[in-house]
Structure 1
Amino acid sequence: MQDPLDAPEPRLPPSLRLLKWLVMGLTLTMIAGVITVVVLLVTRMPDYSPTNFPDNLAMPAGAEPQAITQGPGWTGVVTTDGRLLIFGSDGALRQEITVDLP
């Protein structure tokens, strides 16, 4: 009597073999696509750290920038103490708005 573990593996029908290779190809393509998207996101994301802070802004004493936005002719800086500072294109402070945070 033949041992069931030694029996040869049954061959798949040709249509299922093709499907098996197509699924494996799709899996490899998806893996390559996810890796590509992750690499592009990591390498192309801009760095929004305070090191990109414009040098020509005259920040008040004790103000630490948290976020920066720019428009035509002005720059807005949100500080860690809850203020919005609006600077002109020359870097001079034009307006200061206090924001009440919860």
Structure 2
Amino acid sequence: MSLGPDPDGEDPGLPPELRYLKRLVSGLTWIMILGFVVLIAALVIRLNADPVPLPDRITLPDGVSAHAFTQGEDWFAVVTSQDEILIYDRASGALRQTIKVDLTAPQD
């Protein structure tokens, strides 16, 4: 009579429910490890991607400071602290449009 595990690695003294639970926990552990590796790989790929154009990559007009930044497929926009929105072409970096923001409340 052998007291150690049988050839397939299972302990013959464990009830079938515990053997099933042991396999389930082991399987879930490997799935979590695999998921963590995939998550780290996705982060590495994402962080090594080309950076998006940011306001410091473009030339703002003299005396203008960036307050906010957003982007679309072929453009990006800089909201200035002078209440203007400057829209730039993504490919060339050229200024496409300047929009003056009117901050007065509408009159009813």
TM bracket (short chain) = 0.5 to 0.7
Any stretches of 5+ residues in structure 2 without a counterpart? 1-12, 104-108
Residues 3-43 of structure 1, C-alpha deviations (whole Å, 9 max, x = no match): xxxxxxxx321342132122112122113203312330343
Cα gap change, 1:90 to 1:27, in 2 (>3 Å): closer
| SS of the residue 1:59 aligns to | coil
| 1:86/1:93 contact within 8 Å kept | yes
Higher relative contact order (Cα pairs below 8 Å, separated by 6+ residues): 1
Aligned counterpart for 1:98 among listed residues 88, 101, 107: 101
Q: Percent identity?
A: 32
Instruction: Return closer, same or farther for 1:20/1:90 CA change in 2, 3 Å cut-off.
Output: closer
**Cα RMSD for the two superposed structures:** 3.4
Q: Which amino acid counterpart does residue 35 of structure 2 have in structure 1?
A: G
Match status 1:50 vs 2:51: no
* Unpaired stretches in structure 1, ≥5 consecutive residues: 1-10
**For residue 78 of structure 2, what is the amino acid of its counterpart?**
V
Quickly say closer, same or farther: Cα 1:51–1:86, change in 2 above 3 A: closer
- Deviation beyond 6 Å, 4+ runs, structure 1: none
Question: SS at the partner of 1:78?
Answer: strand
Closer, same or farther in 2 for the Cα pair 1:94/1:68, shift >3 Å? same
How many residues are matched? Answer: 85
Instruction: Normalising by structure 1, report the TM-score.
Output: 0.53
Aligned pairs for 1:1-102 within 5 A: 11-45=13-47, 46=49, 47-48=51-52, 50=54, 53=57, 55=58, 59-65=60-66, 66-71=68-73, 74-79=75-80, 81=81, 82-87=83-88, 91-98=94-101, 100=103
